[in-house]
Chains A and B, each alone.
Chain A
Amino acid sequence: MTTMHSPVLEVPARPRRRLPKPTLLIGLALLLLLIFAALFPRVLAPFSPTDFDYEALLKGPSAKHPFGTDNFGRDVLSRVIYGTRTDMQIAIFTTLFPFIFGTLLGALTGYLGRWSDAVVGRVADLVVVFPFLVLVIAIVAVLGPGLTNMYIAVSAVGWVSYWRLTRGEVMSQKKAEYAQAGRVLGYSPSRILLRHLLPNAVTPAIVYLMTDMSLGILLGASLGYLGLGAQPPTPEWGVMVADGKNFMATAWWISTFPGLALTLAGVTFSLIGDGLADALRPRA
């Protein structure tokens, strides 16, 4: 008769799930496909992504060219497959540095608190006042177009979400008993932080990483579309959509298929993100 909340009475509104959702499995299957296409495009692609074929300009989808050909006679399907590598690379490099930097900074300021936390908090407040895309393209404008400069720009801006998530977790975990116990046992602060707090506090950041990858692909493709991201002739889906934009009326397939590939990649990461969020959520 000590607890007053009955677990039984809380059941009604939301059924609890015990099995991993099929969405996570679908997401992982799609991810495997994308990784395979990124690593071995040669195996999947019927043609070279860059070879011109003046015999087959602007041909619609057919058995030979399922996604048609573009204005240089290049096979759109092959270009989409080769584009996977670029866009997956974008997904990784637009998120990896913000993730590492933001998570470590979040753990540090969450643990130290006081002025370090306040200072980083001010900087974060400042960063979010700039629209993400605007700040990134402004930085890219100054540094010059291209993927490397885009990664630098995104890293300068994208760490804030990871910092917030990790900082919040560390701050609440710091009060948890095992951290207190560590202090009593005389562990050094860095050991408590790196060995005990961070591994537990990093979960929300990992879940967010997946969502962020789908945002990263969209951002990279948007910059590519604007001409500020990947530079031709690198096959990149956003650039490919832009390549076909003047042919929408006559050869819709040039833009449409790379756009679908982008959407598919975005859905893949958000499915995995949702699935992970669901699987890692602590159960009562």
Chain B
Amino acid sequence: MTAPLLKVRDLNVRIPTPAGVLHAVRGVNFDLMPGEVLGLVGESGSGKSVTLRSLIRLHRPPIGMTGTVEYGGQNLLAASEAKLRDVRGGQISMIFQEPMSALNPVLTVGEQIGENLREHKGLRGRAAQERAAELLDLTGIPSPKARLADYPHQFSGGMRQRAMIAIALASEPQLLLADEPTTALDVTIQDQILRLLLRLREELHMGVILVTHDLGVVAQTCDRVAVMYGGRLVETAGVNSLFHAPKHAYTLGLLRSLPGAGEHRRPLQPIPGGPPDLRFLPPGCPFAPRCEYVTDECRAGEPPLLEVAPGRFSACIHHDELPALKPTLAEVGA
């Protein structure tokens, strides 16, 4: 068995606010295999984006990060700035939700790819130009040479996201962190970008961590899923088994709130209530106040994430009481 590409252990992120410290990520553990696509899903405020950003230590003080993020035998959370810079963009790249705000408006797309090539590949001048055009071509941007001189605002939304992916891929990373890469896009463009990511994953054999709140996206692209709630992982599983038989009441709720596609259209059942305030968590399971399976045991103490079946982890006391779901992948996905 091959060694994991990335090992995250006991990751905690604390954000000081005037109203108290916000414990946004609480003891997250997971591994990522080389070439694997992991979906990190959850509602807004579940801590998924905060988790993703802390993997390359992108948070700045006063936000505090503890735990270990092991990559290439190094703990990135404790690595030197120089080493970290080498990994960032060089071996682990990241793409953001809003390409319009993530791309610098006053630099051309060519310059923004060039920065990466210079920093991580030592390419300059003509060689960098040619490689940059290749990268734009690889991400499906037509007449790439001409577009290098364009500014981000001259691109359409979908093209901008492609350009950002091209920048991220400039250094041929081992791992791509994607923070809601398709949320800001039209559905048809979403589909194209996801297919592009999958194709690039195949061609470059890189691991991908995909943060999304959209289970449809997960079904379409991921090998494995980690569900976050209240700053914790509450369930991890292979994508097929998760969709067929969720082992956490929250995952079940999420799946039920999906609009079914095709013939098996079911009435939507949204989860009542909203995500918890991370500053004032109840002592027990954070999902307990919204859960239909809740018992006193749930409220007594926070259940840990345990292996409940081979390759399946859940933090739900009632994981074996949950019903299996009929829908197949084809129904929830594309």
Contact of B15 among A1, A3, A11 (CB under 8 A): A11
Mark the stretch among A12-20, A106-114, A212-220, A236-244 that contacts chain B.
A12-20
Contact B257 A11 (CB under 8 A): no
Within 8 A of B (CB), among A7-36: 7-9, 11-12, 15-18
Q: Which residues of chain A come closer than 8 Å to B22, judged between CB atoms?
A: 8, 11
Q: Which residues of chain A come closer than 8 Å to B59, judged between CB atoms?
A: 12
Shortest beta-carbon distance from B41 to chain A in Å: 9
- Cβ of A5 < 8 Å from any Cβ of B? yes
- Cβ of B49 < 8 Å from any Cβ of A? yes
Contact B49 A16 (CB under 8 A): no
- Cβ of B262 < 8 Å from any Cβ of A? no
Shortest beta-carbon distance from A158 to chain B in Å: 34
The 8 A CB mask of B41-80 against A (1 = contact, 0 = none) is 0011111011000000001100100000000000000000
Q: Which of A1, A11, A18 has the most CB of B within 10 A?
A: A1
Q: Which residues of chain A come closer than 8 Å to B214, judged between CB atoms?
A: 1
Q: How far is the CA of A247 from the CA of B15 in the complex (A)?
A: 58
Contact of B17 among A1, A6, A15 (CB under 8 A): A15
Contact A8 B45 (CB under 8 A): yes
Q: Which residues of chain B come closer than 8 Å to A17, judged between CB atoms?
A: 18
- Cβ of B278 < 8 Å from any Cβ of A? yes
- Cβ of A142 < 8 Å from any Cβ of B? no
Known A-B contacts A1-B213, A1-B254; A7 and B17 likewise in contact (beta carbons under 8 Å): no
Q: How far is the CA of A5 from the CA of B180 in the complex (A)?
A: 11
- Cβ of B24 < 8 Å from any Cβ of A? yes
- Cβ of B183 < 8 Å from any Cβ of A? yes
Contact B18 A4 (CB under 8 A): no
Shortest beta-carbon distance from A220 to chain B in Å: 40
Contact B43 A12 (CB under 8 A): no
Q: How far is the CA of A174 from the CA of B244 in the complex (A)?
A: 50
Q: How far is the CA of A12 from the CA of B13 in the complex (A)?
A: 12
Contact B45 A9 (CB under 8 A): yes
Q: Which residues of chain B come closer than 8 Å to A18, judged between CB atoms?
A: 18-19
Q: Which residues of chain A come closer than 8 Å to B50, judged between CB atoms?
A: 9
- When C-beta atoms are compared, the residue in chain A nearest to B62 turns out to be A12
Contact of B257 among A1, A4, A7, A9 (CB under 8 A): A1
Known A-B contacts A1-B43, A11-B22; A6 and B49 likewise in contact (beta carbons under 8 Å): yes
- When C-beta atoms are compared, the residue in chain A nearest to B214 turns out to be A1
Q: Which residues of chain A come closer than 8 Å to B49, judged between CB atoms?
A: 6, 9
Q: How far is the CA of A55 from the CA of B15 in the complex (A)?
A: 68
Q: Which residues of chain B come closer than 8 Å to A3, judged between CB atoms?
A: 44
Q: Which of A5, A7, A9 has the most CB of B within 10 A?
A: A9
Contact B180 A7 (CB under 8 A): no
Contact B18 A15 (CB under 8 A): yes
Contact of A8 among B24, B60, B180, B213 (CB under 8 A): B24
Contact B213 A4 (CB under 8 A): yes
Q: Which residues of chain A come closer than 8 Å to B60, judged between CB atoms?
A: 12
Q: How far is the CA of A7 from the CA of B257 in the complex (A)?
A: 22
Q: Which residues of chain A come closer than 8 Å to B183, judged between CB atoms?
A: 4
Shortest beta-carbon distance from A284 to chain B in Å: 13
Q: How far is the CA of A1 from the CA of B18 in the complex (A)?
A: 27
Within 8 A of A (CB), among B129-145: none
Contact B44 A16 (CB under 8 A): no
Contact A4 B17 (CB under 8 A): no
Known A-B contacts A4-B180, A4-B183, A8-B278; A16 and B45 likewise in contact (beta carbons under 8 Å): no
Contact of A7 among B19, B45, B47, B97 (CB under 8 A): B45
Q: How far is the CA of A58 from the CA of B9 in the complex (A)?
A: 78
Within 8 A of B (CB), among A200-246: none
Q: Which residues of chain B come closer than 8 Å to A7, judged between CB atoms?
A: 44-45
Can you list 12 A-B pairs with a CB-CB distance of less than 8 A? A1-B44, A4-B44, A5-B44, A6-B44, A7-B45, A8-B278, A9-B45, A9-B49, A12-B59, A12-B63, A15-B18, A17-B18
Additional A-B contact list (7), CB under 8 Å, known A5-B44, A15-B18, A16-B18: A1-B257, A6-B46, A8-B24, A9-B24, A9-B44, A9-B50, A11-B22
